[in-house]
A and B are shown apart, each in its own frame.
Chain A
C-alpha cells in the first residue's frame, strides 16, 4: 500500500512575533532508514493553499531545508525519468554540504514544494537543475558557517564542515547543522558568488554511487505512478476516436452500464470515457461502449509522406548559420554534390502506458503524475478546468521511462476530467493502443543538402535546408482538452528541433536554413535528442559522402575541418578505441554473403556543450538486406562527470535505443489515425539484436557538468549509415534502414 503522510505546517509564535524573517517550517517527511538504498519517499500530500514552504527558484529555502535532526531535504523541480538523476542530485547536494549521502533526501517535481526549474528535458537536469541546487547548497553552507562563527565568536575562515557538523580547524566540539538552524528558514537569496567546493576535495561527486532507487525497483517494493492508490479511488478508461478529428455523434452505453461496478459513462464533446469501481471493470466497460463517430480523414497518404512534407506551408525560415556566401561558392566549386535525407515519425514507446490519479478536494485539484514537467502541467490543468493555478497541485511520481513528452500529461488531463465528473479520485491507465496511438510523435524530418568541393576535395561550400514543423519546446496541447473543447494551447511544440542544423566544422561558406512548417501529420512533441538526432544524421552522413567523393578517410576528413581541441580529442580517442583503419570508404572488397564495415560520426551537442564521437561496426546480410550492429564505440566529454556509471548507463541506453529507432522504427498511419498500435506493428530492438557498447569517458572535474542524457544518441544514425556505406557502397538516406530499403540499394549497385 502506498502510505501518504500529511505534514503539519506550523508557524512558531516567536517567529510570528519577529515578523516574516524567520518563519519556521516543519516537515513531517516520511522516515528513512540509514540505508542509502531505500525507495524514494512518496511526496507528502500537502495542502495547496497557505503552505509556507518557499518554492522560489532564487531562494535557498526553495531548494534546501534542514531538519532538527540535521537531515537535509533537497527540493528539485527536475525529476528522475529513470536516468538516475535523483541519485546524481543527491550526490551534488551532499557533496556541497559535506554530508553523507544518506543524510540527504531529494523531493522531486511537486509543485507544492519544489521550485519550477523548467521541464526535465534537453539533458539539462545536471547542467542547469543540478547547478542551481549546487549553488543553493553552497549558499546554505556559507550561511551555516556564518551562523557557527557567530555562535562561537570566531571568524568563518577558522571553521571547517565535516559530516554535518561545523567545528574549528584546530579541533574541539562542533555544532551540528540541525542545532544551528533549528528548522528555521534560511531566508536568503541564492548567492551566485557563494563559492562551491573545490572539485579537488570531492568525495562523492565523480564516483559511481549506486542508484538509490534500484533495490526497491528490482524487488518490487518501489511505488511507480502506475502503483499509486488513494483511498476511495476508482478507475477510468478513455475511449479515443477511431479517426483523428472525428465527431462523437452518439453513444449506446446500455451494455456498458449493465456491467457490474460501472459508475459512469463520461461524455464531454468528443471526450469519451468510463469510470468503474475496478480497473478490469473499466476495461470491459470501455470495450462494451458503442460510440458512433463521424468519418474523418485528415492525414496524408503515408506512401507520399515526403512529398506532403515538402509541399507543406512554410510559416517562416530560421537561418541557423550563415557564413561567407554559400550560393556563390557552390556555383564556383570544382564539384557539387547534393543529397536528400529523411527520418521517419517515431513514438516514445514507453513500456508502461501513461497513467495518472486526480482528486478534487475542497475546491482544489491534486494530480499525481509521471509528467516530466509538473509545473507546466499544473498551468495546463488550471487552464483546462478554468481553475486558479494556486488551486492545482501536481505531484511527480516516477513512471515508465518517457524519453520526452509522451502521454503522461494527457493521462493527467483525462484523470482530471473524470475526477471532476464523478466527484471521486480517479486513476486513469492508458492501454497499449492508447499510448502507441495517441502519445505525441517525433515529427517527420526531411533534409536537403548541397556542398561544393575544391580540386583537392576540401569542402568550400555547404548549404542545407530542413523541413521541420514550427514551434519550440512549449506545452503540447492536451488530448482531453482538445476533445472536450476546453481551453488549451493550439501551437505546435516539437521541441527545439533546429538545434544542430548548423555544423561544428570550419568551412568558409555555410548556409543552413530551417523551413518551419505550419503543420505536420500527427501531434508532434520531442523524443530523445529531438532534431539534434535527425539533423546530425543528415549532416554527418552527407559529410561522409563528401569524404568518399574526395577519396579521403572519413575520420581524417572530419579532423581536417574541425578547429576545436576537445572535439578533436574525442574523435582521435574513439579511433584508437575502435582500432580505426585509415582508408577511404567504401571498402575495396565487398564480396560474400555478409558485408562488414565501419562508420564514424561526431557531434558537439547544440554546438556549445557535450562532445561525442562514435564508430559503428555493421554487418549487412546481402540476401535479406538485414543490417546488424554488433559493436558501437563511443567517446564522450561532458565536462565534469557527477556519476561515471550513471553516464555510462545513459550512453549504453542512447546507443541501443537509437539502433532500434534507426533499424526498425516507423509509425504507420492510414488517412484517419495511427495504425501501429502495438509492439507487433511497431517492433523495437530485442536482446539478440543489441550491440556491444564500448566506451571511454573523458572527465574534466574542474569544468562545468554538461548534459549526458541525450548527446550520444545524436551520432548513432549517421555512424550506422556511414558503416553501411563502407560495407556495401550503398548510402542509406532514409530512416528506418529497413531490409527492403537495403535490398533495393544493393540491387541498384
Chain B
C-alpha cells in the first residue's frame, strides 16, 4: 500500500506517496516531483549522472533508497542550485566555458563540483579531476568541465 513520505527538496517541504520505501530517491525526484536535473544513467552508482546534494554532500540518488533518508535532511537538485535567470556560480561557469555537449552527465558534474567548492574553495587541477573521477562523460567534455570548475572557483 502506498505510504506517505515527507521530504525536503530544494528548500520546500514536499510529501509523496510510494508503494515501496526502498524506492531510490532518483525515481521520486524525477517522476513524482517532475525534476529534470538528476538523471538516470546506470542505477548502480557508477556514472554520477543522478547526483544530488543531501545536506551539502554529493550523493548518488540512484542508489539512495528513501528508507535511508533521515527526517529533515535537505535535498538539493540542479534546479535548486540555480535557474537560467539566476544560475549558481558553478552553473554560470559551465555556461561560460560551454562545458557540455549532449549534457546528459552535466547534472552530476555541476553537483559534484559545487560540493567540492563548498569544501575546498581553490582546488588544484588534480583535485578537481580526482573529485570528478567517478563521474563519467562520454562526449569528451572533460577539459572544459575542469576549466569551468576553475572559473567558478575564481568567481566564488
Contacts and interface: CB of A to CB of B under 8 A. Distances in A.
Contact of B139 (A82, A219, A227, A687): A82
A281 interface: yes
Contacts of A688: 126, 129-130, 133
B143 A690 contact: yes
A401 interface: yes
Interface in A36-78: 37-38
Contact of B23 (A280, A660, A686): A280
A279 B31 contact: yes
Contacts of B30: 227, 279
Contact of B143 (A279, A401, A692): A692
User: A226, A259, A692 — which one has the most chain B CB atoms within 10 A of its CB?
Assistant: A226
A211 B103 CA distance: 11
Contacts of A279: 27, 30-31
Contacts of A399: 102, 104
B142 interface: yes
A77 to B, nearest CB: 19
B31 A217 contact: no
Contacts of B39: 224, 226, 352
A389 interface: no
Interface in A668-698: 678-680, 684-688, 690, 692-693
Interface in B40-83: 40-44, 46-47, 49, 77-79, 81-83
Given A431-B43, A678-B46, A220 B95 contact: no
Interface stretch (A122-130, A464-472, A651-659): A651-659
A220 B107 contact: yes
B83 A652 contact: no
User: B46, B101, B107, B142 — which one has the most chain A CB atoms within 10 A of its CB?
Assistant: B101
User: B1, B44, B83 — which one has the most chain A CB atoms within 10 A of its CB?
Assistant: B44
Interface string B85-128: 00100010011001111111111001000000000000000101
Contact of A219 (B34, B47, B87): B87
Contacts, number: 188
A217 B106 contact: yes
Interface in B133-156: 133-146
Contact of B43 (A400, A432, A655): A432
A639 interface: no
Contact of A653 (B130, B132, B139): B139
Contact of A221 (B2, B44, B79): B79
Contacts of A213: 103
B79 A351 contact: no
A655 B142 CA distance: 11
Interface string A4-41: 00000000000000000000000000000000011000
Interface in B8-56: 18-20, 23-24, 27, 30-31, 34-37, 39-44, 46-47, 49
Given A81-B102, A653-B139, A352 B49 contact: yes
A226 B103 CA distance: 13
B101 A351 contact: no
A214 interface: yes
Contacts of A142: none
Contacts of B103: 82, 213-214, 217-218, 222
A353 interface: yes
A349 B94 contact: no
Given A656-B140, A690-B143, A692-B143, A215 B102 contact: no
A406 B18 CA distance: 33
A210 to B, nearest CB: 6
Contact of A215 (B41, B81, B87): B87
A649 B46 contact: no
A684 B140 CA distance: 11
A432 B41 contact: yes
B139 A401 contact: yes
A400 B102 CA distance: 6
A679 B136 contact: yes
A218 B110 contact: yes
B100 A214 contact: yes
Contacts of B43: 431-432
Nearest to A692: B143
Contacts of B23: 280
Contacts of B24: 280
A351 B83 contact: no
A216 interface: yes
A679 B47 contact: yes
A692 to B, nearest CB: 7
Interface string A402-443: 010000000000000000000000000101100000000000
A693 B34 CA distance: 38
A686 B24 CA distance: 26
A84 interface: yes
Contact of B36 (A37, A220, A685): A220
A222 B84 CA distance: 10
Given A37-B84, A82-B102, A687-B133, A220 B143 contact: no
A352 B144 CA distance: 20
A217 B37 CA distance: 8
Interface of A: 1, 37-38, 81-84, 210-211, 213-224, 226-227, 229, 259-261, 278-281, 284, 349-353, 398-401, 403, 429, 431-432, 645, 649, 652-657, 660, 678-680, 684-688, 690, 692-693
27 contacts: A210-B95, A214-B95, A215-B84, A218-B94, A219-B78, A219-B84, A220-B78, A226-B39, A279-B27, A279-B30, A280-B18, A351-B49, A351-B102, A351-B105, A351-B136, A351-B138, A352-B49, A649-B144, A652-B140, A652-B143, A654-B140, A655-B140, A656-B142, A678-B42, A687-B130, A687-B132, A687-B142
Given A218-B106, A280-B18, A687-B129, 9 more contacts: A214-B95, A229-B34, A280-B23, A351-B47, A432-B46, A649-B98, A678-B42, A679-B42, A687-B133
Interface of B: 1-2, 18-20, 23-24, 27, 30-31, 34-37, 39-44, 46-47, 49, 77-79, 81-84, 87, 91, 94-95, 98-107, 110, 126, 128-130, 132-146
Closest 8 CB pairs of A and B: A82-B102, A220-B37, A656-B140, A401-B102, A653-B140, A217-B103, A220-B78, A400-B104
